[in-house]
Amino acid sequence: MKITALLLNIAVFVTTFCTPLQQSFAQSVNNRDLINREITDSDVFFQEMLRKPRPARDNTARVEALLKKMTLEEKVGQMTQLTLGMIVSGADQNIQIDQAKLDKAIGKYGVGSFLNVSDQALTIDKWHEIIGKIQDASMKTRLKIPNIYGIDSIHGATYVQGATLFPQEIGMAATWNPALMNRASEITAMETRAAAIPWSFSPVLDIGRQPLWARFWETFGEDPYLAKVMGVSFVRGLEGNDIADEKHVAASLKHYMGYSLPVNGRDRTPALIPENYLREYVMPTFAAAIKTGAHTVMINSAEINGVPGHANKKILTDMLRGEMQFQGFAVSDWEDIKKLVTFWKVAADEKEATRMAVMAGIDMSMVPLDYSFADILVELVKEKKVPMTRIDEAVRRILKVKYDLGLFENPMPSQSARNNFGKPEYAQVSLQAARESLTLLKNDNNVLPLSKNKKVLVTGPTSDSLISLNNGWSWVWQGSEPSLYPKDKMTIRQAIESKVGKKNFEFVQGTRITRKAGSPSNSTPTDMDEEVDIKKAVDEAKDSDVVVLCLGEGSYTETPGNITDLTLPEPQLKLAEAVLA
């Protein structure tokens, strides 16, 4: 009698960026990089992470001395962050620094931070070329203040080609292993810093309680205790005991706070959160990570109870600074000061929006596509609408992080830091994380493990897709460029075939998930379902002992991944119903 194994592959629990899952675990258990599964009690581990020592150095005197030398324009420059596209020409792997654009950004405006990629993940050599020129330009300025480059290292150094990727946060949460999370983020930090990037926009500490939300899989799930423990482990892995150490980077806790609970499930839309709920379920992850010493936070792009995150003084100052005693700097999310005018409509113009955001507690603006923030903020200070004390407060926080990172001494990493990239043992940690994240919901009639003596059919849209096994933030923003995925990593189809052998194996696509033809991979999700050969899949199923039916999602993140319900697309439902009939 035919047995159907329903494998619902939601693209977040396993990453194939490790040695194939089917290799013998016995080959790797002695590797020194693996984490002993028999770890201590989670709360004991959590308290240990909180107690780890921090360096005794105090850069206050250096910060204050530099601050006194700075002009208003230089201070505002430090509060300005632009995307890489503002200073390069070309596309994809062929981008080059445009010297005129760089001179304007750093020479004229003194921009203190850049972020992002120009479409695709770059090689480590390309990152050194790009960031090296940015730091060279910074060293030619009057005060020689280094630039701080930021990137979204979400589940590994996701924008550095050849880096080690790990399961997404929801998958790491399924391991229930904070020591493993800590080791994975240590590797992420080393491979990010090796590329000359000292600042990661991670971890996501939003609580996962709205399943429609397009970034649900970026969270540690619904439980604030589990999310708190895993979040602190992530932060300590990134930052270590000293972020000046070239094995570590500054973390950015995001998205502070309430971002993940939109009423309608759509990204960057309003949330209604009673204060008792906010304090009990939303705040603990951030409070714990701040207690462990995290250096930066990124702000909620949406609104809570009618107040946009970027204009919410209670959240940004009273709670963050007053209650949680956060000492680092707060950076806006993408273009979110402008959106106080264009989307939330709480400000009449960008000048009013800038004043509102800065006075609420934003220290650095991810502008990121023009110089409006710098021009407007200088005007506001000269008009005495924003006091110089507030500017000094923000710049003081930014300079402290730059000093703590050791950027004034070493704006670029040493060769030894580069040598931390791509070590073979990292793949073993990724493999362990992938294994421990696997979650078996049901095994009726002991259908698993599969027998080599039974004929197996593999079918479904996620069965032969590395994209579905990794999802967003994988080499491009939407994770949707197949050409960038390593060719030596196995899909589900390939892995099962390698185990059961060609004699007892059959593959039929059934349906597929694609992205729109000719669309840019960086900004286009893989979300178009289409039928391929459902009838053939049904015919082969009749002649098979076991059907591995792989359903689920392609790749997406943020607003491009918005959905209105949790129902599988019609072609997938049609395939499943036909095969199961």
Reported as a single tens digit per residue, the pLDDT across 98-142 is 999 999 999 999 999 999 998 899 999 999 999 999 999 999 999
Over 50: is that where the pLDDT of 14 sits?
Answer: no
Integer CA distances (angstroms), 93 to 48, 155, 522, in order? 43, 22, 13
Q: pTM (2 decimals)?
A: 0.94
User: What's the rounded Cα separation, in Å, for the pair 205 and 202?
Assistant: 8
Over 70: is that where the pLDDT of 82 sits?
Answer: yes
List the beta strands (DSSP E) in 72-128.
Answer: 80-83, 88-89, 96-97, 113-115
Q: Where in the chain is the domain with CATH 3.20.20.300?
A: 75-418
Integer CA distances (angstroms), 432 to 23, 436, 511, in order? 11, 6, 31
The CATH homologous superfamily for domain 449-580 is Glycoside hydrolase family 3 C-terminal domain (3.40.50.1700)
- Position 37 scores a pLDDT of 57
Task: Please give the average per-residue pLDDT across 238-250, as a whole number.
Answer: 96
What are residue 41's phi and psi, to 5 degrees? -50, 140
User: Which residue among 119, 152, 206, 333 is the active-site one?
Assistant: 333
Over 50: is that where the pLDDT of 290 sits?
Answer: yes
What are residue 495's phi and psi, to 5 degrees? -65, -45
Task: Please give the average per-residue pLDDT across 569-573, as a whole number.
Answer: 97
- Position 92 scores a pLDDT of 87
- Position 289 scores a pLDDT of 98
Buried b (16+ CB within 10 A) or exposed e, 506-517: bbbbbbbbbbee
CB atoms within 10 A of CB 10: 17
Q: How many residues does the chain have?
A: 581
- Position 23 scores a pLDDT of 35
Task: Please give the average per-residue pLDDT across 161-183, as a whole number.
Answer: 97
Q: Provide the pLDDT confidence category of residue 452 given band limits of 50, 70 and 90.
A: confident
Token pair, residue 545, equals: 């002992």
Over 50: is that where the pLDDT of 529 sits?
Answer: yes
- Position 21 scores a pLDDT of 35
For the CA atoms of 265, 269, 274, 277, the dihedral, rounded to the nearest 10 degrees, stands at 50
Q: Provide the pLDDT confidence category of residue 6 given band limits of 50, 70 and 90.
A: low
Q: Provide the pLDDT confidence category of residue 33 given band limits of 50, 70 and 90.
A: low
- Nearest CA-CA partner of 34 in 492, 535, 433: 433
User: What's the rounded Cα separation, in Å, for the pair 232 and 220?
Assistant: 12
- Position 39 scores a pLDDT of 55
Over 70: is that where the pLDDT of 313 sits?
Answer: yes
Token pair, residue 113, equals: 């931070």
Q: Where in the chain is the domain with CATH 3.40.50.1700?
A: 449-580
The CATH classification number of 75-418 equals 3.20.20.300
Mean pLDDT of the chain: 93
- Position 54 scores a pLDDT of 79
- Asked about 543 being catalytic, the answer comes back as no
Nearest 5°: CA angle at 536, between 530 and 539? 140
